[in-house]
């Protein structure tokens, strides 16, 4: 499958916040895609909203959704530390999906499901309104060039969509190690009339315990990047 064909399979939107990179699957990751995705994965269906009560073993547990989980480091750590919470991870890149699937099996996790698709379309079509306790967006692509700013996922459309899917009192948690993108997020999120900044100063928040310090973040810190956390509550 070519990169263009794969892009079309994973989204129908003309402007995307991601580019499919043809990273090479290891044999273990490829095997996980074949054997474990049917067990732990959810097939994207624009005509079918998810029923969390039938999706997870713990039917009444709150649901957190992580957008762009990479290799699944934070997703698996949170699912392990919070067994009474259910997790949905959304990612487009096959090597990351395969790696996360391997982790789910090796850790014996029953509270994680994976969707390999565009997160915007997953939120729009598959997540019921007011169904999520938390939406997590950790270190999304900053699209640093000005002509690419339209590709940044944190836009007014995204914020409105997330707010609609969060329960009242639910939390949107974004994190980035690019200062320019942090300021962009802050401006866009502070303008929302459905989300309230958890920081009393209307600025950034301390990193909460539930966000794992991942290898990606550690790399940014070694490069001298300041990590900014933005937490907003649905009102």
Torsion angle of the four alpha carbons 134, 175, 148, 89, in this order, in degrees rounded to the nearest 10: -40
Neighbours of 134 (CB within 10 A): 21
Contacts of 153 (CB under 8 A, 6+ apart): 17, 67, 68, 119, 120, 137, 140, 141
Tokens coding 58: 């713990």
Q: Catalytic residue at 141?
A: yes
- Which of 34, 141, 180, 193 is the catalytic position? 141
Neighbours of 81 (CB within 10 A): 11
Q: Check: CB of residue 92 under 8 Å from CB of residue 20.
A: yes
Pairing assessment for the beta strands 166-176 and 228-234 based on DSSP bridges: antiparallel
From the list 127, 195, 186, 116, the residue with the least C-alpha distance to 152 is 186
Indicate which residues carry an active-site annotation.
141
């Amino acid at each position: 499958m070519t990169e263009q064909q794969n892009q079309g399979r994973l989204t129908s939107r003309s402007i995307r916040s991601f580019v499919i990179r043809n990273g090479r699957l290891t044999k273990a990751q490829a095997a996980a895609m074949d054997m474990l995705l049917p067990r732990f994965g959810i097939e994207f269906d624009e005509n079918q909203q998810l029923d969390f009560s039938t999706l997870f073993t713990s039917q009444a547990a709150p649901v957190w959704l992580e957008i762009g989980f990479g290799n699944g480091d934070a997703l698996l750590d949170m699912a392990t530390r919070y067994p009474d919470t259910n997790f949905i991870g959304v990612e487009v890149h096959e090597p990351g999906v395969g790696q996360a699937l391997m982790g789910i099996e090796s850790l014996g996790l029953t509270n994680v499901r994976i969707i390999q698709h565009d997160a915007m379309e997953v939120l729009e079509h598959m997540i019921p309104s007011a169904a999520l306790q938390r939406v997590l967006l950790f270190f999304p692509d900053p699209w640093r060039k000005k002509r690419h700013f339209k590709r940044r996922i944190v836009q007014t459309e995204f914020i409105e969509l997330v707010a609609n899917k969060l329960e009242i009192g639910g939390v949107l948690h974004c994190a980035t190690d690019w200062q320019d993108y942090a300021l962009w997020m802050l401006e866009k999120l502070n303008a929302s009339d459905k989300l309230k900044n958890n920081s009393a100063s209307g600025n950034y928040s301390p990193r909460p315990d539930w966000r794992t310090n991942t290898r990606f973040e550690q790399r940014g810190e070694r490069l001298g990047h300041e990590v900014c956390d933005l937490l907003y509550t649905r009102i």
